[in-house]
Amino acid sequence: MGASTSQVSDLAENQSLQKLIGTESISENDPFWNQLISFNITSPTCSSDAKQLEEAIIPLAKTLIENNPRSGNFGALVRIFLARTKELKISTECQDQLFIWQAHNALLLIRCLLKVFIREMSEEELHLQFSYQERAPGSCESGGEDLLKELVCNLVHLIVEVPLFPSTHNFGRENSTLKGHKTRLTRYKKISMKDNILC
């Protein structure tokens, strides 16, 4: 992943992914994020492709689980995605292919990581993955924002607001797939129906 065509078999050596899962915190203003989400990889459309992608992501996600408490890079990735979604409806109406493509790629990456997180962590650990921010070595505090709830609410909003065009088809499919994991996400956070309606 990064600014080139990516093969599932090459993900473990990908420099952009190695930086994401590393111990160094990456500022949300760093051009790295544009590079990270500017990759060409086909979203899985069948179970064998999905399994191959998942198997390639598992070791990367496990490394991120270890390093994220210090780096906060997973939360930064989610915030990058959320920032892009604020402009997504306008981008689709203007047929801004680059913006839609990058939003899709960010969502694909978040979904793949979350699938491993959900399987590997307790509910407290999962919630903490969303709240970690850049920390000095030895510090264990987590941030106060609720990125998990914001992500879930944003996904609901996007299903309703983003028009379905050929250019948004893959984005919509990724959103729906991640929404399929929403049951697990909300189980951890115990978001009530009332909270979902208020999103």
Any idea of the CA torsion for 33, 175, 51, 63, to the nearest 10 degrees? 40
pLDDT (tens digit, 9 = 90+) per residue, 120-176?
999 888 888 988 865 444 444 444 468 888 988 888 877 777 666 555 545 555 655
Structure tokens, 141: 């505090």
Q: What is the rounded distance in angstroms from the CA atom of residue 176 to the CA atom of residue 180? A: 6
CA nearest 43: which of 178, 160, 147, 154? Answer: 178
CA nearest 66: which of 147, 121, 14, 107? Answer: 121
**159 or 1, higher pLDDT:** 159
Q: Which amino acid is at 47?
A: S
Q: What is the pLDDT of residue 164?
A: 64
Q: What is the rounded distance in angstroms from the CA atom of residue 38 to the CA atom of residue 41? A: 10
Q: What is the pLDDT of residue 189?
A: 46
pLDDT (tens digit, 9 = 90+) per residue, 8-53?
878 888 999 999 999 999 999 999 999 999 988 777 778 888 889 8
- In this predicted structure, the answer to whether residue 185 has a pLDDT above a threshold of 70 is no
Q: What is the pLDDT of residue 68?
A: 95
Q: What is the pLDDT of residue 168?
A: 55
pLDDT (tens digit, 9 = 90+) per residue, 85-111?
887 777 777 777 788 788 888 988 999
Structure pTM?
A: 0.78
